[in-house]
Amino acid sequence: MIQPYMFDSHIVAGTTLRHQGHSSAPFNSLNMAFYVPDKIEDVIKNREEVAKATGFPLNTWVFPKMTHSDHFIKVTALDQGKGAYEEATSIMDMDALYTQEPNIMLAVFHADCTPVLLYDPKTQTIGAIHAGWAGTLKEITKKMIKHWIEVENINPKDIQVVIGPSISMKNFEIGYDLVHQVITHHKHYLPYLNINDMRSTMNVSGINIQQCLDMGIPQSNISHLDECTYAFEDKYFSYRKEPVSGRHASFIGIKK
């Protein structure tokens, strides 16, 4: 049901897997998102099962309504339960959340996009980022880390990062328009493209790792669950392979 990640003992973090849920095909079976045409009651059942497994009641979870933006927000106890039982109550137009308060579970959705989870043990700050190619090129990961450094006075050398499963460079084919966009506006990310007249590809998770490094996070503090959502279809949903399918949730919370 869950791929757990190890930070400190009081940090609960992970990514939901594809199975052991209640959704019927083509969302079978542990779909976590309302925004695909799954049955709402099945999604709630799925979320309640995951919430029980994590020890965080579903009414403490916070879900954003994602738009492939570079927008992030600091979450407090007043936000607990937003988006948990209906999409209309989600934190709108956000692709990243962070908090310094315990007993709040932050979550982002994905099915090929790159989930980024962050933790600073000194200030007890946690964050969850949804980074598709659009948000990645808008540098959402870099911008939130920069905010942590400048506003929250966090030392980047203390930040621990987990990059969750996403589509691999081998399987993420891109068109000329995106190639041109990188060449024109993001030349420093060209090493993460394989440009070919027949088939060009892009390493989105690699760019997010580079953004962490650019902001001063040591390589030794970054863990990458290097599993391709497109290739491991028995384990993960893949929007690129199955446009009508479920979504995973990557999550992180401080248990107190």
pLDDT (tens digit per residue) in 186-222: 999 999 999 998 999 999 999 999 999 999 999 999 9
Q: Give me the pLDDT at residue 225, please.
A: 96
**pLDDT by residue (tens digit) across 103-155?**
999 999 999 999 999 999 999 999 999 999 999 999 999 999 999 999 999 99
In the chain, the number of structural domains is 1
In a domain, 174, yes or no: no
Instruction: Identify residue 50 by its one-letter amino acid code.
Output: V
In a domain, 41, yes or no: yes
Q: What is the mean pLDDT of the chain?
A: 98
In a domain, 156, yes or no: yes
In a domain, 179, yes or no: no
In a domain, 181, yes or no: no
Q: Give me the pLDDT at residue 45, please.
A: 98
What confidence tier does 175 reach under pLDDT thresholds 50, 70, 90? very high
Say if pTM beats, i.e. exceeds, 0.85. yes
In a domain, 196, yes or no: no
The mean per-residue pLDDT over the stretch 222-240 comes to 97
Distance CA 55, CA 229 (A): 26
DSSP 235: T
Distance CA 188, CA 115 (A): 22
Q: Give me the pLDDT at residue 68, please.
A: 98
Q: Give me the pLDDT at residue 28, please.
A: 96
- Residue 89 sits in a domain whose CATH number is 3.60.140.10
In a domain, 98, yes or no: yes
Q: Supply the range of the domain harboring residue 64.
A: 2-167+220-254
Q: Give me the pLDDT at residue 187, please.
A: 96
In a domain, 57, yes or no: yes
Within its chain, how far is the Cα of 211 from the centroid?
Answer: 15
